[in-house]
Amino acid sequence: MILALILNCLLPLSFGFVTRHFPWSTIKNPEFTYETKYFWTRIDHFSFVNDDKFFIKYLINNESFTPGGPIFFYTGNEGAIETFAENSGFIWKLSQELNASVVFAEHRYYGTSLPFGNNSFKDRQHFGYLTAEQALADYVLLINQLKANYSCFASSPVIAFGGSYGGMLSAWIRQKYPNQIAGAIASSAPVWLFPGLSDCNGFSMTATNSFLKYGGENCVKNIQLSWSNIVDIGQSIDGKELLTHMFNICTPLTDVQNIIDYLSDFLGTISMVNYPYPANFLLALPEWPVKTCMEMTTPMCASGPVNIMPPLNWDLNSFSISCQNRFGVSPRVEWPKVEFWSKSVHTITNIIFSNGEIDPWSALSITNNSYVPFATVINISDAAHHLDLRTPNPADPQSVIKAREIEKQKIIQWIKEWKIKYKLLKFFNGIRSFISLLDYLG
């Protein structure tokens, strides 16, 4: 009965299995080809304690590139980089139109880019270098190496792309290194996921609104009813056995909270990936809990009379204790606000924050241009999680098509502005050198 109630109202939505955190399709697309390469990077960019280095993977394609053309640089997020390359068709299509090189850089501690190999998650002495700051430094180092080693890239403007956590990174790399990055597309980037920056109820309420829109009121009511039914059934041994068989659990259920947690993640995921066409997902992210316990701490709660999620409170102290018990670390919740500007982002330029309005993560993103008057905000109706970065599809809503065109025109503008500045810089450097020569000749 419970399962039937839930599944019945999910039929109008396109979905597949994913964990809650920032999913990507695992379907490979043979249309996108690339060379797989590696570069050396320091384990620690910001101290002199550890001088060790390790390899980070990156993917590159220069088939459409012409010398001086742009570099489209994807700031890899939490997963093997091939997955992102094969599911960011908009970047590939645009590279053909604008004669760009395409680079996808893997995030440290993901895929095969492991600083300590199989010991990378052994303890905090090993996983303590899993931070956004270190990853951004990796990416800038790679950009500098490419420009230094290949003369055809010397004057190339770099446009950063990213979706989800990768979108956060693309925004931050433009903020932190504007001398390296001409502009950035930050798609579905929850840059305000940190404690105190957004309503912890925002994710669950946006997910609820998505279900109301596509499933209707009865759908939401049935889901709300299911939570108490699960708890009631799970109070007895026979009830736990029934739930074990109903949800096809590998080991006998001992705590119904496990089922509730799983279904909550499942519902959040469905609203995230409600694409206008079928998409298969399967992505485990064992590294992400470590990251949330250090810097990506994300308060999640659920309340209100109309909410598809079970009632949930979030407490920083309890979360910190859990992190200490599990990983031996406690979150530094104030530092990311300092490092990544909190809500004092009014001076940033050349960034597009694009949000799908049915994506729950949009509640933790920048959705109002008043916060970023010199940047661009695009709120895309009927769009799910970073749909604008995916391969253009005949089923795409007009809102997504329009958003991609805005992004394209902004990128063209950034490229032109960067090239003008580059030429002016060369001109003034030439004058400076000439004056120095005259002074020398005396």
Give the catalytic positions in this structure: 164, 359, 385
* Torsion 270-392-26-40 (CA) sign: negative
Vertex 148: Cα angle to 142 and 149 (nearest 5): 90
Provide DSSP, 312-330.
B---HHHHHHHHHHHHS--
Pairing of strands 351-356, 376-380: parallel
Residue 278: exposed, middle, or buried by beta-carbon count in 10 A (0-12, 13-18, 19+)?
Answer: exposed
Quote the CA–CA distance of 309 and 229 in Å, as a whole number: 14
Nearest Cα to 410, choosing from 344, 354, 340? Answer: 354
Quote the CA–CA distance of 327 and 287 in Å, as a whole number: 11
**At what angle are helices 217-233 and 202-214 packed, to 10 degrees?**
120
Give the containing element (helix H, strand E) for 184: strand 183-187
Residues ≥6 apart with Cβ < 8 Å to 250: none
Q: Compute CA distances 52 → 40, 49, 86, 329, 376, whole Å.
A: 10, 9, 32, 23, 40
CB 71 within 8 A of CB 140: no
CB 2 within 8 A of CB 9: no
Residues ≥6 apart with Cβ < 8 Å to 290: 121, 127, 130, 327, 329
Beta bridge partners of residue 57, listed in sequence order: 38
Nearest Cα to 213, choosing from 315, 357, 314, 347? Answer: 357
